[in-house]
Amino acid sequence: MSGGTSPLSGVSASGGPGCHGRIDRADDPALPPAVLVAVHDDAPPGVVREVCAGAEEQGIPTAILAGSDAEHAAEESRLEVGVGIAADGTVVVRHGLVPDPVLRLAGGAPAGQVRQAGADAARIVAGLPLRTAAG
């Protein structure tokens, strides 16, 4: 996840207004609690934007964790929730205390579904029911 051609180049280096930007480690005391989003270098920028926007709409900030996957992001997040975005746009939502993914959305899903996956990651934090069918 290094270099100037990451998805963040198409996402204004922050993932969107609700994203605290790219971080290299989750234990930075200056970082407020956030859903951590692990983004593959070749992930579609629009998917990154939609996931972050969905979480922001629920009032939960995000941060992009460098060199990680959804499981590691969930383990590292103080909120115990992580999202992984693969090169093909697949979105996986994980909770640190649950062994399997909570949600999985195939690459190429419509923007509204991708945004809802981000919102559902935030809803896990808030203890609210999910709106997306688990898969």
pTM over 0.85: no
Residues linked to residue 81 through DSSP beta bridges, in sequence order:
95
State the chain's mean pLDDT as an integer.
84
pLDDT at residue number 31: 76
pLDDT digits (tens, 9 = 90+) for 44-90: 999 999 999 999 999 999 999 877 899 999 999 999 999 999 999 99
Domain layout of the chain by residue ranges: 7-126
The CATH architecture one would assign to domain 7-126 is 3-Layer(aba) Sandwich (3.40)
What is the Cα gyration radius of the chain? 13
- Residue 86 identity: A
